[in-house]
Amino acid sequence: MRQDTPIYIATVLLERNRWTLDKAPSFAVSEWGQRFHDAGFDGVELWENHLLLAMDEEQAAIQDMACPVVYYNTYAGFGDEDADALREAADWIRRLGAKGCKYNLGKDPSRRETERRNLRAWVASLPEGCMPLCECHGGTMLEDPRDAARFFQEADLPRNGIIVHAMGGDEERLHPWFDLFGPAIRHLHIVLHREPDLAGRLAYFERAGFAGSMTVEFTQGVAEPGENMADLFASAVDDLDTLRAALGA
């Protein structure tokens, strides 16, 4: 893999309310932008609520950070009732100049055609320079790579990339994703402390032809007793340095 592989930081990593019901942001991302930049991150993967639920001043400050928002992480659904949220996501992607947008489909397979239709229309509405990135998360209708492959073949999107949760667990679980999607896998979510063999995992990605970017999504200490932002950020920076060293080896 390239030594200059772009590595971003997910703002959700620092967010203590990441899994609460209201998912209300607990900190101002703009206050961390310079620290992200100084630590060496190439950009930010922005948790949508850090922008949508912020005051106007914070929204403006996020757009002007030293460490830019490269990927926008939306939780808008793809039902007919979600049209306004999808328009808002596309508008913010345009205003931020984001190069990619992470999204997920829903859980109900009976809504497959509706969500496919609305996804196709939404992708067509995105700026030309923005790559939509399906996380194909567990608990959604596309968590199985074969289902995801059929869905996107039938969707016939003008452009689309795939995110893979890259670290931890058996390497065998990754093979179907890379076998079916190949270069369409554009981004990896990294949780480094779950990976016992970093060199081996990176070597697999290189053999598979991966040439995309990475985000340090979570880190040691997330959701553990005594979790605090300073320690989480220090751990994320350690993960960044470890990745850089491994990529340069």
pLDDT tens readout for residues 20-74: 999 999 999 999 999 999 999 999 999 999 999 999 999 999 999 999 999 999 9
The CATH number of 7-248 is: 3.20.20.150
Helix (H) or strand (E) holding 100, with range, is strand 100-103
Cα–Cα distances (Å) from 28 to 55, 91, 248, in that order, read 10, 21, 33
Q: Report pLDDT digits (tens) over 178-203.
A: 999 999 999 999 999 999 999 999 99
Tokens matching residue 112: 């497959």
Alpha-carbon gap, residue 113 to 43, rounded angstroms: 34
Residue 195 is predicted with a pLDDT of 93
* Statement: residue 249 has pLDDT above 70: no
Domain map of the chain by residue range?
Answer: 7-248
The pTM assigned to this predicted structure is 0.96
